[in-house]
Each structure stands twice: as C-alpha cells, then as structure tokens.
Amino acid sequence: MAYFPELWFTEKYTGTCGFTFKVKRVLNTQQSPLQRLDILETYDFGRVMLLDGLIMFTERDEFVYHEMIAHLPLFAAHEPKDVLIIGGGDGGTAREVSKHTYLNSITNVEIDEVVVENSKKYTPFVGSGFDNDRVNLIIGDGIEFVKNKSELYDVVIVDSTDPFGPAEGLFNVEFYTNVRNILREGGIVVAQAENAYYDKRWMMRSVNNMRKAFGVDNVAIYQAAIPTYPSGTWVFAIGWKSGEHPRDRFDSDRFEGLGLDLKYYNPEIHRAAFVLPNYVKEILKG
Ligand code: AG3
C-alpha cells in the first residue's frame, strides 16, 4: 500500500511552545538576498507565506491585519491625500489602501522584490493589491526612503516583519523621527508592533521609540484578533503629529460614502480596538 508521510509546520513562540498545523504541500521555497521565503498550502488556513520561518499571513485571516493596519489610520486622518506604505511586499496593505479611491497617491516601498513576485504568483488574494494602477511600487529600502524626503504624506503605514533581520531599522527612534518629518500636520503613522504576551519587549521598543519621536501623549496602541499570529492578539502602534487622539477621530461621512465591504473593521471597532486589558496597560506604564 502507498505510504503518505505527513508534513507539519510549527512556528515556535518560545523554546517550549508554538503554533502547529498540517501542510498539504509546499508551493515554493526560495532564498532571496535578504531572507528565506516559503509558500505553503494548508488544510486550515489556505495559503500561507513564511519569511525566515515565521508566519507573515494566511489566506484565512490576513483580512484582519490588513484592514486594521489600513482603514483605522485612514478613517482617522483628516482629508488624507497621500499615503506611504513601508514594507507590505505581499500587497495586502496596498489592496486595502486602494479602496480609498479619493486618494491622490499611494506609494509602497518594499525592500524585497522576491516577496512581491511570490505574492503575485502564489497568493494573488493579496498580491493583486499591486495590480491597481494607483499603487506606485518602489523596490528599495524604506529606511533610506524616509531620510531627507521632501514630499509629505498624511498617513504612513509600516507593514514590516518582526524587529530583527531586514526590518530591525524600522523600529528605532531615527526611523520614526524621519517618518514624523514627512508627515503633514495631523498626519498619522501606524506600525505593526508585535504582541503584549510573548513579545512585550519588542512591543515596548516600538512604543518607546515612537514616543521619543512623537511625544508621549501622541502615541497609543490598538489591538486586533489575529488567530495565526503569536498570542492571537496583535498590536499596532499609532503616532500622530498633532490634533486629537485617532480613537476619537472617525470620518463617518467618508466611511458611509465609500460603502466598503469589510470583514473586520467597522466604526465600533475603530474605538474599541484602543480598549486595553489591564495587563497590557501595566506593560505600557513601563
Ligand atoms: N507583517 C507582520 C507579521 C509579523 C508576524 N510575526 C510572526 N509570525 N512571528 C505581516 C505582513 C503582512 N502584510
């Protein structure tokens, strides 16, 4: 009788626990100049992209991350015109930002072309985000891009990998300061900031560095439930150059006007995402 050995993948969260699923097949494995990339076909999560062995997104729950990193800052921003995405090489963030059809420009700076190529080929549900003519994709280093830039943006979205390897420099004070310098008054930055359960030090590195660049009173975090990321609850750090807390800014006219068909983000979530459990509040106090 034929013998079908099974293939399982585990992302280790610590030395002693992790997240495991069975793999139907491996669609691609590739080493780019910057990182290892794997595309898996799974039973429970559809297609999955790994970078350096860590889950970047799954077909089943990527909508949570991409809606929350894009729509929350965009609906909080006052008449946004120009958006900059740093990272986001899979196209998921560009896909969501493109739904804001009134924008003048969407610039996406991704360092690794191999991620873009693979996403277009194997995970078009996000990769097609780059098919939109309004998305200007630049293959380059986001850290360099924000240095000495003269163009201004209303919203900057940092959709990066974890804070080591290629993305390390996207979590430091210098980077956030350069981002602040290219924001218009009232402008908003959002950065994926890991989680408060397994990786509170990384989360706080992002929050503290953003605080140094924007001021303690102009930085907050919000959370979203993402089943396939460590702890299942993901943190986004948000900084604003001036004006009201983004929790209290929500352009309902623009939201109603666009009539988006979304699966996670809604006006109630916009506010509620900023409500934090006590253990997270404690961590934020430092
Ligand atoms: N970027 C953030 C992924 C972080 C996940 N970390 C992990 N699995 N250890 C996601 C990219 C999606 N556009």
Q: Examine the domain organization and report whether 96 and 147 are in the same domain.
A: yes
Indicate whether 257 belongs to any domain: yes
Domain that holds residue 12: 7-56
Whether 122 is in the pocket of ligand 1, judged by its Cβ within 6 Å, is no
Could you tell me the CATH number of the domain that includes residue 279? 3.40.50.150
Q: What does the pLDDT read at residue 149? A: 85
pTM of the entire structure? 0.97
Q: What does the pLDDT read at residue 22? A: 98
Q: Examine the domain organization and report whether 108 and 192 are in the same domain.
A: yes
Indicate whether 2 belongs to any domain: no
Indicate whether 68 belongs to any domain: yes
Task: Tokens for 28, please give them.
Answer: 């691609």
Q: What does the pLDDT read at residue 259? A: 97
Q: Examine the domain organization and report whether 39 and 117 are in the same domain.
A: no
Which of 19, 36, 56 corresponds to the end of one domain? 56
Whether 55 is in the pocket of ligand 1, judged by its Cβ within 6 Å, is yes
- First and final CA of the chain: distance in angstroms? 60
Q: What does the pLDDT read at residue 165? A: 87
Indicate whether 1 belongs to any domain: no
Indicate whether 270 belongs to any domain: yes
Whether 229 is in the pocket of ligand 1, judged by its Cβ within 6 Å, is yes
Indicate whether 202 belongs to any domain: yes
CA-to-CA distance for 170 and 192, rounded, in angstroms? Answer: 10
Q: Examine the domain organization and report whether 223 and 155 are in the same domain.
A: yes
Indicate whether 149 belongs to any domain: yes
**Neighbour-count burial of 75, counting CB atoms closer than 10 A to its CB (0-12 exposed, 13-18 middle, 19+ buried):** buried
The protein residue with its alpha carbon nearest to ligand 1, atom 2, reads 161
Q: What does the pLDDT read at residue 150? A: 86
CA-to-CA distance for 156 and 159, rounded, in angstroms? Answer: 10
How does pLDDT run along the chain (286 residues), one tens digit per residue? 788 889 999 999 999 999 999 999 999 999 999 999 999 999 999 999 999 999 999 999 999 999 999 999 999 999 999 999 999 999 999 999 999 999 999 999 999 999 999 999 999 999 999 999 999 999 999 999 999 888 999 999 999 999 988 899 999 999 999 999 999 999 999 999 999 999 999 999 999 999 999 999 999 999 999 999 999 999 999 999 999 999 999 999 999 999 999 999 999 999 999 999 999 999 999 7
Q: Examine the domain organization and report whether 50 and 75 are in the same domain.
A: no
Q: Positive or negative CA dihedral for 163, 91, 242, 269?
A: negative
Q: Examine the domain organization and report whether 165 and 181 are in the same domain.
A: yes
Indicate whether 218 belongs to any domain: yes
Distances (CA, A) of 52 to 75, 91, 166, 206: 33, 18, 11, 21
Q: Examine the domain organization and report whether 40 and 69 are in the same domain.
A: no
Q: Examine the domain organization and report whether 113 and 249 are in the same domain.
A: yes
Q: Examine the domain organization and report whether 200 and 254 are in the same domain.
A: yes
Q: Examine the domain organization and report whether 16 and 81 are in the same domain.
A: no
The domain tally of the chain equals 2
Q: Examine the domain organization and report whether 45 and 182 are in the same domain.
A: no
Which of 37, 56, 75 corresponds to the end of one domain? 56
Q: Examine the domain organization and report whether 32 and 168 are in the same domain.
A: no
Q: What does the pLDDT read at residue 79? A: 96
The protein residue with its alpha carbon nearest to ligand 1, atom 5, reads 56
Atom nearest to 228 CA in ligand 1: 8
